[in-house]
Amino acid sequence: MKLATFDGGKGHRLGALMGDGQTLVCLTSTGLPELADMQSLIEAGSAGLATARRALDAAEVTVPVSKVRLLAPLPCPPQIRDASTAPRHIAHAPVGMRRLAAVLAGESDPGPAEGSVPDIYKAQPIFYITNRFSVAGNGDQIVWPGYSDYMDYELEVAVVIGKGGRDIAAADAMDHVFGFTIFNDFSARDAQLREMQGMLGPAKGKSFDAGNVFGPWIVTTDEIADYRELRCVAKINGRTVTDSRLGEMLHGYEDMIAFISNAETLHAGEIIGGGTVDDGCGLERFEFLADGDVVELTVDGIGTLTNTVVRKG
């Protein structure tokens, strides 16, 4: 199923997409507590999904997707973690940062160069925790923070935890996944460059209102045969700038979940980003977003997540 959180003028509702791809069945209208919202459905487990499927088949209350506002599937998730697992991104992003540092220092751009993957990225998944309150959805306008002049997108696929747990074995990890969604990890590169010198991970380079965009919905795991085969495409104002596949990642979601849950309990509804896909951001090409740019991220089997970046003031 493709499950969405939407607003048709009566507040947040939980919906399931019909086969036509154009119509939502309002699951909240059933009055069932497990279908009240996305978090309730996730916490209800397999029984909740079975109830949602029956409600989808019944299709008692429907609404066209074009008539509602699609929100982030989880408007306020319990937690957001974001990893970095794609080798070309890991190698090329630091090169882009060195080029940006030179430009900000008033020096000439040294140009592209070959990067390398540090051993730590091969040894284990590397991730950070970001602001779970700074969440936006499909169609939302992203107002760029005034402290940054270098706007960037990041094309990612995230998993949503369904069944919580601790010390989860990699072999069992996908049994703990509720579904997949697209994640645009918008990044203020000049702010990120400054603060990463403190060696504590990204802060204001990532954490600003609407900086974490998810959607357009969550696709349950039964609809994705092999997530590593997912094709990931980014377009800026209709121009293709990224065309990659998820399968290049150094560590799959199984390893990420096993690593994160080591001596740490994961909870239903938590989101784990798989990291920027190879060639999945402007920093790697040293191209940045401009005021008014429309960013479209498309992942096979999931859908398209669209946002407009604007600068105000």
Q: Which of 214, 168, 212 is nearest to 38 (CA)?
A: 214
pLDDT, residue 46, reads 97
Q: What is the pTM of this model?
A: 0.97
CATH number at residue 254: 3.90.850.10
Could you tell me if 6 and 149 lie in one domain?
A: no
Q: Which of 40, 69, 98 is the last residue of a domain?
A: 69
Could you tell me if 89 and 20 lie in one domain?
A: no
Domain that holds residue 185: 80-310
For the chain, 313 residues long, give each residue's pLDDT as a single digit of tens: 999 999 999 899 999 999 999 999 999 999 999 999 999 999 999 999 999 999 999 999 999 999 999 999 999 999 999 999 999 999 999 999 999 999 999 999 999 999 999 999 999 999 999 999 999 999 999 999 999 999 999 999 999 999 999 999 999 999 999 999 999 999 999 999 999 999 888 999 999 999 999 999 999 999 999 999 999 999 999 999 999 999 889 999 999 999 999 999 999 999 999 999 999 999 999 999 999 999 999 999 999 999 999 998 6
Q: How many domains does the chain have?
A: 2
pLDDT, residue 121, reads 97
Could you tell me if 11 and 150 lie in one domain?
A: no
Could you tell me if 87 and 56 lie in one domain?
A: no
Return the residue matching tokens 């790697």. Answer: 284
Distances (CA, A) of 235 to 8, 75, 151: 28, 25, 15
Could you tell me if 112 and 213 lie in one domain?
A: yes
By CB atoms closer than 10 A (0-12, 13-18, 19+), residue 29 is: middle
Could you tell me if 227 and 185 lie in one domain?
A: yes
pLDDT, residue 217, reads 98
> Domain for residue 74, yes or no?
no
